[in-house]
Homo-oligomer: A and B are copies of this chain.
């Protein structure tokens, strides 16, 4: 009965939902550009007004030092019903290079693609389209049933593209307001329209800067070459101690806090269709690198790394200058996995560098901080609810994977709210996030709304 009613509702609402999404996408809420500050606020107000209109309550723009947070809820599911917190963001990336866009980034345009219609616009997939999925799910349930199977809270921020500085800072004081049994985040992609995937782990991050100082000023390499340890060379020698030949990190203690992959996880990750061949084709490297005892998916998702993201010293222009520089520097970052912490990794790396630093130079390691990794227990019932949600809406059982990148807010939600975070993405790998011609696959938008409804129902049943 309910099912039929809601199916009929969703079918009839498709055009309206699309037009509403287009209206929101027309607002250029680019959070990194000060000249768009008003637009960012306009996009926040648009969503808040819309939330109010569909029956969400306590709709508030929470002011921050930057762009406001949007809060809304519906809390009438009953005292024993679980609470779902939906997180997303209404800010978008800049659009340059504009000349590479085939349709204007803020004039949403539907075009037929090989797998069905796509909507092209900045923010279509990242993240307005995916946020709107859940708003439309709530609307459909309220419109057809007058109630939701669970309590729902929304927190939608306007600073994700600038690193969520204010939400991060304010989360502890919002702890009670946002208290929930599960957080639902739709800001990622699945493998294909017919192959959903659930990201159950995200790597954390530590970043810092290594400085090697030799002579008090740059020296002529003719006059001083042979008696001074060139800081470029000393830096290279230090950096070369950080990995063994097979790519294992050789900083003592680095792997001590790494939670081993379980046999169950290795089995799940082995099903992700991304291996050596795909990685070679995607990157163009002559051969892959890294811990041979792990697969590419494991190495990028479930194993920590140490990368030299930048390195510089001496003369780097055209031609030549025979200089021994006073300093050489490197930007280093580590991707972390549970139970590593940025603090501990910094300490281990600093200890190692101090222990091996030669007496001929001065070595310092600056700490830029970082974020914790996140891992969601595969066995929590909400994870099963997500699986069923995908199955019923996409018609396929999702795979499970761990993502190599970092979304620090996810670990923070887990930590501060004490609730599992379910990453239920509806984007596709070729959605051109942060690039020209961003798009969102419309069948995924509509399937997503159904998935969100199923998820709420399944969570309600525990």
Contacts and interface: CB of A to CB of B under 8 A. Distances in A.
Contacts of A224: 283, 300, 404
Contact of A361 (B240, B286, B317): B286
A362 B227 contact: no
Nearest to A291: B226
A418 interface: no
B232 A243 contact: no
Interface stretch (A40-48, A101-109, A116-124, A306-314): A306-314
Most chain B beta-carbon contacts within 10 A, residue among A283, A311, A316, A330: A311
Interface stretch (A255-263, A318-326, A383-391): A318-326
Contacts of A314: 308-311, 331
Interface stretch (A151-159, A192-200, A211-219, A447-455): A211-219
A237 B207 CA distance: 21
Given A320-B368, A322-B333, A305 B233 contact: no
A284 B361 CA distance: 10
Contact of A309 (B203, B236, B279, B315): B315
Nearest to A214: B285
Nearest to A362: B286
Given A311-B313, A320-B368, A289 B223 contact: no
A79 interface: no
A63 interface: no
A445 to B, nearest CB: 24
B227 A299 contact: yes
A441 interface: no
Interface in A382-400: none
B335 A221 contact: yes
Interface in A177-215: 203, 205, 207, 214-215
Given A286-B362, A323-B309, A324-B309, A300 B233 contact: no
A436 to B, nearest CB: 15
A321 B233 CA distance: 24
A36 B259 CA distance: 69
B221 A307 contact: yes
Given A314-B331, A320-B331, A359 B286 contact: yes
Interface size class of A (residues with CB under 8 A): 35 or more
Nearest to A225: B305
A309 to B, nearest CB: 5
B285 A361 contact: yes
A229 interface: yes
A405 B299 CA distance: 48
A415 interface: no
A233 to B, nearest CB: 5
A353 to B, nearest CB: 13
Given A247-B229, A289-B228, A330-B232, A283 B240 contact: no
Most chain B beta-carbon contacts within 10 A, residue among A217, A288, A331: A331
Interface string A131-174: 00000000000000000000000000000000000000000000
A227 B285 CA distance: 10
Given A227-B289, A311-B316, 11 more contacts: A222-B405, A228-B288, A237-B240, A285-B360, A287-B359, A289-B358, A307-B324, A310-B313, A310-B316, A311-B313, A315-B331
27 contacts: A215-B285, A216-B284, A220-B405, A221-B307, A221-B309, A222-B335, A222-B403, A223-B403, A225-B305, A226-B247, A229-B289, A232-B310, A235-B236, A236-B239, A237-B243, A285-B361, A286-B361, A286-B362, A287-B359, A288-B360, A309-B315, A310-B314, A311-B316, A311-B328, A315-B331, A316-B331, A320-B368
